[in-house]
């Protein structure tokens, strides 16, 4: 078995924003099944446990909205999410960047300290067995030199296991709250995660990944009984 990591773009590094206010970012498609409700509830839990953090932590929800997913049989998901945010008293703490243009993705990610990906495994895909895929959003985080807090869905646990973030059990809102609270109280973690994420991003540039594929193909051809 050979492992070649998901490659990423070559994006110029950018310093972290001031740590006076912790800026969290969810980035990806916005629809049911991404665990966004868990993240919103976890943020509310953080402010309940530590009210003094309310003015020092902000969350941005950024990404695309697919009509067939955001407005499916379950109703208007965006309206439901906004209703949850309002009910929890978080309206003034959350920013939206819907349908983010591609040329603004890197700048938006680098305007934040940490990406938070609260994904839950798809029940439908679960019928096929445990899925080990990773995430394009997480690849963007590395390319932009930003750490991540993720659930342990898919292969996220492996992807943030080298000092570039933290994980929690998928669907465990209390555990996610603890991770957010720990980060808010120890904001220098964001700096450490960003430094490691930047290293990972540089190791996974597309040209380097292409070279790894080329080398793998050479080895495969050399070891095959029939090669051309």
Q: Report d(CA 68, CA 31) in Å as an integer.
A: 9
Asked if residue 209 belongs to a domain, the reply is: no
pLDDT given at position 101: 92
Is residue 227, in this structure, part of any structural domain at all? no
How confident is the model at residue 75, as a pLDDT? 66
How far apart CA 125 and CA 137 sit, in angstroms, is 19
* Residue 4: inside a domain: no
State the burial class of residue 90 (Cβ atoms within 10 Å of its Cβ: 0-12, 13-18, 19+): middle
Look at residue 73 in the predicted model and tell me its pLDDT: 55
Q: Which pLDDT does position 223 carry in this prediction?
A: 82
* pLDDT at 123 (0 to 100): 56
pLDDT tens readout for residues 163-183: 999 999 999 999 999 999 999
150 in any annotated domain? yes
Is residue 7 in some structural domain?
Answer: no
Residue 130 has a pLDDT of 56
Rounded Cα distance between 121 and 141, Å, is 20
Helix, strand, coil % over all residues of the chain, rounded to 5: 45, 15, 40
* pLDDT the model gives residue 136: 87
118 neighbors 154 (Cβ within 8 angstroms): no
Distance CA 214, CA 7 (A): 14
pLDDT attached to residue 74: 57
Count of structural domains within the chain: 1
Res 228: pLDDT: 46
Cβ neighbours of residue 2 closer than 8 Å, sequence gap 6 or more: 216
Q: Please indicate, yes or no, if residue 10 is contained in any of the structural domains.
A: no
Name residues whose C-beta falls within 8 Å of residue 95's C-beta, 6 or more positions apart in sequence. Answer: 58, 59, 60, 61
Q: Domain span at residue 124?
A: 22-203
pLDDT, tens digit only, all 228 positions of the chain: 788 888 999 999 999 999 999 999 999 988 888 899 999 999 999 999 999 999 999 999 998 876 545 455 556 888 999 999 999 999 999 999 998 999 999 999 999 999 999 998 765 555 454 555 667 899 999 999 999 999 998 888 889 999 999 999 999 999 999 999 999 999 999 999 999 999 999 999 999 999 999 999 998 898 865 444
Per the domain annotation, does 72 fall within a domain? yes
| pLDDT value for 19 | 96
Read off the pTM: 0.89
pLDDT at res. 70: 47
CATH of the domain at 34: 3.40.50.2000
Count of CA atoms in the C-beta half-sphere (13 A) of 190: 27
Instruction: Please give the span between the terminal C-alpha atoms of the chain, in angstroms, as a whole number.
Output: 22
Domain-located, residue 208: no
- How many C-beta atoms lie closer than 10 Å to residue 146's C-beta? 27
Write out the two tokens for 191.
């700096």
């Amino acid at each position: 078995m050979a492992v070649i990591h998901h490659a990423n773009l070559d994006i110029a590094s950018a310093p972290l924003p001031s740590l006076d206010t912790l800026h969290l970012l969810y980035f990806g498609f916005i629809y049911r099944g991404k665990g966004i409700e868990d993240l919103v509830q976890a943020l509310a839990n953080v402010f309940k446990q530590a009210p003094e953090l309310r003015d020092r932590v902000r969350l941005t929800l950024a990404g695309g909205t697919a009509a067939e997913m955001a407005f499916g049989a379950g109703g208007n998901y965006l309206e439901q999410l906004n209703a949850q945010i309002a009910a929890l008293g978080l309206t003034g703490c959350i920013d939206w960047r819907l349908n983010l243009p591609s040329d603004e993705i890197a700048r938006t990610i680098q305007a934040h300290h940490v990406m938070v990906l609260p994904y839950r495994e798809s029940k439908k895909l679960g019928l096929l067995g445990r899925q080990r895929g990773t995430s394009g959003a997480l690849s963007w985080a590395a390319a932009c030199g930003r750490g991540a807090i993720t659930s342990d869905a898919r292969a996220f646990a492996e992807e943030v296991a080298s000092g570039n973030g933290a994980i929690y059990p998928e669907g465990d809102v209390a555990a996610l709250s603890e991770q957010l609270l720990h980060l808010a109280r120890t904001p220098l973690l964001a700096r450490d995660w960003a430094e490691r994420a930047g290293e990972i991003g540089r190791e996974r540039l597309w040209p380097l990944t292409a070279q790894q594929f080329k080398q793998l193909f050479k080895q495969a051809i050399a070891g095959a009984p029939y090669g051309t």
